[in-house]
Chains A and B, each alone.
Chain A
Amino acid sequence: MADGTDSGFSEGQSSGPGGSSGPISPDLDPLNITTSTVDLEESLDMGAEGDPKSTGDDITTLTQSSLAGLRLDDALASDVHDLFVTVDDPEKHITNMESYITYRVTTKTTRSDYDSHEYVVRRRYQDFLWLRERLEATNPTHLIPPLPEKHSFRRLDRFSPEFLKTRQAALQKFLSRIVDHPTLSFNENLTIFLTAKAWELASHRKQAQGIMGKMGSSMRSMAAGYMLKNRSPEYATMQEYVNTFGAKMGTIDRINQRLLKEMTDYQQDLREFGPVFTLWSNSETELAPAMLGMASGVEKCEKALDQQISDQEHVFAPPVKEYILYAEAMKAVLKRRDSIQMEYELTVEDLSRKRNDREQLKMSDQSYSLGAFLGKDPEEVRQQKRTKLDSQIEELLKQVEVSNDSVECANADLKADLERWHRNKRRDVKEVFSELCDRNIQYYQECLSAWEETLQEINQKSELETASTLATPTSSCPDTPNLATPTSSITPPLPATPTKGGTEGGAAEGQGGTQ
Chain B
Amino acid sequence: MADVGSDSAQEGGSEASTPSSSKRVTSLLSVMEISVTEPERRTGVTAINMKETYTVYLVETRITDMKSELLPETFTDETFSLWRRYSEFELLRNYLCVTYPAVVIPPLPEKKIHMMWQKLSGGEDKFDPDFIERRRAGLESFLLRVAAHGQLSQDKIFHCFLHLGENWKETVLATGYQNKKIYLILRTAQMDSRLKTLNAQFRLKNPDRRFQDLKNYSSELEANIANLLKIRERLAERLYGIHKIHANYGRVFSEWSGIEKEMGDGLQSAGHFMDVYAASIDSMLEEEDTYADALKEYLYFADALRSICRKQELLQYEVEKLEDKLVYLKAQKEQMEQGGDVKSGFSLKGMTTKLFGADTPETRDKKIKLLEEQTQQTEEQLQAAKWELSTYIDRSLQDVERFKRQKVRDLREIFINYSIMQIKLCKKGISLWNNTKECFTKM
- Seen from chain B, the residues whose Cβ lies within 8 Å of a Cβ on chain A are 1-2, 4-9, 11-16, 20-22, 24-27, 99-101, 103, 148-151, 155, 180, 182, 208-210, 217, 220-221, 224-225, 227-228, 231-232, 234-235, 238-239, 241-242, 245-246, 248-249, 252, 255-256, 259, 262-263, 270, 380, 383-384, 386-395, 397-399, 402, 405-406, 408-409, 411-412, 415-416, 418-420, 422-423, 426-427, 429-430, 433-434, 436-437, 440-441, 443
Contacts and interface: CB of A to CB of B under 8 A. Distances in A.
A369 interface: no
A218 to B, nearest CB: 31
Nearest to A425: B263
Contacts of A277: 228
Contact of B2 (A263, A444, A458, A503): A503
17 contacts: A252-B249, A263-B242, A277-B228, A287-B412, A297-B419, A433-B437, A433-B440, A444-B429, A447-B422, A448-B426, A473-B22, A478-B406, A478-B409, A481-B149, A502-B2, A511-B386, A513-B393
A276 B229 CA distance: 10
Contacts of B420: 455
B232 A502 contact: no
Contact of B210 (A286, A440, A515): A515
A510 interface: yes
A230 interface: no
Contacts of A241: 259
A474 B16 contact: yes
A183 interface: no
Given A441-B434, A451-B419, A506-B390, 13 more contacts: A294-B419, A441-B430, A441-B437, A455-B419, A458-B419, A479-B150, A481-B398, A482-B21, A483-B150, A493-B4, A495-B384, A513-B209, A515-B12
Interface in A122-143: none
A207 B383 CA distance: 112
Contacts of A499: 1-2
B430 A445 contact: yes
Contacts of B256: 244-245, 248
A236 B82 CA distance: 74
Contacts of A465: 408
Contacts of A481: 11, 15, 103, 149-151, 395, 398-399, 402
Nearest to B150: A480
Nearest to A480: B150
Nearest to B420: A455
B212 to A, nearest CB: 12
A44 interface: no
A280 B423 contact: no
A455 B414 CA distance: 11
B432 to A, nearest CB: 9
A462 B413 CA distance: 10
A384 interface: no
A131 B239 CA distance: 46
B207 to A, nearest CB: 12
B262 to A, nearest CB: 6
B188 to A, nearest CB: 17
Nearest to A488: B99
A294 B414 CA distance: 11
Given A507-B5, A515-B12, A479 B27 contact: yes
Given A266-B239, A280-B224, A493-B384, A452 B1 contact: no
A487 B387 CA distance: 14
Contact of B390 (A290, A476, A511): A511
Contacts of A478: 27, 148, 405-406, 409
B252 A276 contact: no
Contacts of A9: none
B412 A490 contact: no
Given A255-B248, A276-B224, A514 B429 contact: no
Nearest to B30: A478
B430 A448 contact: yes
Given A255-B249, A490-B391, A504-B386, A437 B436 contact: yes
B149 A500 contact: no
Contact of A515 (B1, B383, B394): B394
Interface in A220-241: 240-241
A270 to B, nearest CB: 7
A440 B429 contact: yes
A251 interface: yes
B185 to A, nearest CB: 12
A458 B440 contact: no
